[in-house]
Amino acid sequence: MDGDARINPYLAGNFAPIRSEDDFDLTVKGEIPAAMRGALFRIGPNPQFEPRDPNHHWFGGDGMIHGFYVADGKVGYRNRYVRTPKWELEHEHGRSLFGSFGNPMTTDPLAMGNEGGVANTNIVWHAGKLMALEEGHHPFEVDPKTLDSRGYVRPYGGRVTAHPKLDPKTGEMVWFAYGVGQMPLSAGMSYGVTDKDGKVVRRSDFQAPFACMVHDFMVTENHALFPILPLTASLERAMSGKPAFAWEPEKGSYVGVMRRDADVSTIRWFNTEACYVFHPLNSWEEGDKIFCDVMRYDVAPLFPNADGSPGQKAAARLVRWTFDLAGNSDAIKETPLDDLDGEFPRVDMRVETLKHRHGWYAADPTRSGTVKQSALAHMDFQTGKRQVYELTGGDLTSEPVFVPRSADAPEGDGWLTAVIWRAAENRSDLAIFEAQDIAKGPIAVAEVPRRVPFGFHGNWADLS
C-alpha cells in the first residue's frame, strides 16, 4: 500500500484541520451593503489531535467556530475551538483519547466514563444564547462576540440533536434527540420544546421503529415529523469491530407524524422505500396534508454497509414528500422537484415551518456523488425558475445562509452568504450575493488569508 492510499480523506485537503485560533480584519472586494450588519457563524469538525481511529470519520472531529462579523461595509473574522470536556481532557494530556462516535473499542482507558461530545455540527442563536450543537450531547454555549466557551446548557435534561427548528410565530425552538436511554445506540428518542425565553418546557421520550442516525427532522406550524431511515445504529455491531452506523436498506423507511401539542403515544408512522435524508429544506401544512421538501438519497452516503464493506457514492436531489393525514394509507407520496444534485438546503428562516417560495442549496453540477459542492442554486417554487452560480478551478462552497434585507422585508428579499474554498490559493472567501440573483455572482467578497476547512452548518445572527 502506498502512502497516498493510507491518507484518511477527512484529514486531507480542505477537510484537514487548522490548529491556529486567529483574528483577522478581512480585505473586502466589491461593496458590502450598508444595511448588512450582524454575524455569520459557521461550525465544523476540526480534530485537536491526530484521531485514534485509523478509520476516523468526518463527523467525529472537535468543533471549531468561524465567526464573520459584518458592519459598515467591513468584515472581521475570528475562529475558536469549542472547549468541550472532551477537548479539555485531551488538551490536558496532549493527545487524542476518544474513539469515533464514542466507540469503547477505540477509546483510551483515561477517557472512559467522560463526556465525549464534540459540538461540531450546527450553531444556533436563540433567546440571546449562541449554542454549538451536535448529535448526542447538551447544547454548548459560547460568547457571541469573543467565541469564548461558556459550557453545556444543562436544563435540556440530556442529549439533543443538532437540527432544531425555530418557530417564527411563537419564537419557540423545537428539537429532538435520538439514541436516548441507558444503552448507547438505542432506539430511544425525545421530542422537546424550548420557549422564546430559553426555558425548556417539554421533553417527551418514545421508541422509534429501530435504532438509526436521525440526523434532522421536520416541523410545521402544528406538527413534528421524525424520519427513521435505514442508516442503522448497533452497539452489538460496534462491539464486534463492525461499524456503529451502517446502511441496512431492508429495514425500509418510516416517518412518524405527531401534533406538536399531542402526546408522543399519538405518533402515526408513515412509510416509504429505503432512502436517506440528511437535511430537509422546509415543511408546512395545508388542511389535512403536510408537505416536506427534502434532499433525498437513494442510499446513505459517507457510511459503510452493515458487514463493514464500503458504502456506495450517492447524491441527493430535492423531492417533496406529502403526508395525507385524512387518508387511509400510510404511504408517503413523493414528487421530484429538481434534477440537480445538491445538499445543505436552506430557506429564509422567517418562513421556517410555513409555506415558502424561495430556497437555496449547495449544488454539484458535476454529479460526483460526493459531499464536495461546486455551485450554489436558488429555486423559486412559485415560478419554477432555477438559478445556478457555478464555481471554477476546483473551488468549492459551503452551505448557503440567507440574510434578510430588513426584519420586515418580503420573504427572500436580502442576501445570500457562502464561504468558498479557493483551491488554487488554498484559502477561503466569504462571498455575498443578491439572494434572488445569484447567477450574476457575488456583489462582495471578503478574503480570509488562510483556508476555512469544510464544515457543516452556519447561521446569521443580528447581534445589535
First to last CA, the chain: 55
Structural domain count, the chain: 1
CA distance 48 to 66: 15
Locate all alpha helices (DSSP H) within 251-358, ordered by sequence: none
Query: What integer pLDDT is reported at residue 5 of this predicted model?
Result: 43
- 348 domain residue, yes or no: no
Query: What integer pLDDT is reported at residue 1 of this predicted model?
Result: 28
Q: If the chain, 464 residues long, is cut into consecutive pieces of 10 residues, what is the mean pLDDT of each piece?
A: 59 95 98 97 97 88 97 98 97 93 82 92 97 93 98 90 97 97 92 97 97 97 98 92 93 98 98 97 98 97 91 93 97 97 97 98 89 95 97 97 97 98 98 98 98 97 91
- 321 domain residue, yes or no: no
- 459 domain residue, yes or no: yes
C-alpha 347 chain-centroid distance? 14
- 111 domain residue, yes or no: yes
Query: What integer pLDDT is reported at residue 4 of this predicted model?
Result: 42
- 199 domain residue, yes or no: no
Query: What integer pLDDT is reported at residue 267 of this predicted model?
Result: 98
56 is known to lie in a ligand binding site = no
358 is known to lie in a ligand binding site = no
Query: What integer pLDDT is reported at residue 312 of this predicted model?
Result: 87
CA distance 66 to 427: 14
Sign of the Cα torsion 49, 140, 122, 408 reads negative
Sign of the Cα torsion 395, 282, 311, 454 reads positive
- 339 domain residue, yes or no: no
Burial class (CB in 10 A: 0-12, 13-18, 19+), 461: middle
CA distance 361 to 387: 11
- 78 domain residue, yes or no: yes
C-beta of residue 401 within 8 angstroms of C-beta of residue 355: no
- Give the residue from 176, 213, 170, 196 showing the smallest Cα distance to 353: 170
CA distances from 88 to 65, 91, 151, 161, 206 (A): 16, 5, 11, 22, 33
C-beta of residue 159 within 8 angstroms of C-beta of residue 180: yes
DSSP 8-state assignment for residue 101? G
57 is known to lie in a ligand binding site = no
Q: Which three cell numbers stand for residue 105?
A: 473499542
Buried-exposed string 157-181: b where 16+ CB fall within 10 A, e elsewhere: eebbbbbbbbbeeeebbbbbbbbbe
Give the structural domain span for 97: 1-162+401-464
- 37 domain residue, yes or no: yes
Query: What integer pLDDT is reported at residue 3 of this predicted model?
Result: 36
CA distance 348 to 166: 11
- Give the residue from 365, 364, 381 showing the smallest Cα distance to 373: 364
Q: Which three cell numbers stand for residue 201?
A: 418546557
- Give the residue from 312, 376, 313 showing the smallest Cα distance to 342: 376
91 is known to lie in a ligand binding site = no
Locate all alpha helices (DSSP H) within 244-340, ordered by sequence: none
CA distances from 55 to 184, 242, 294, 349 (A): 20, 11, 29, 36
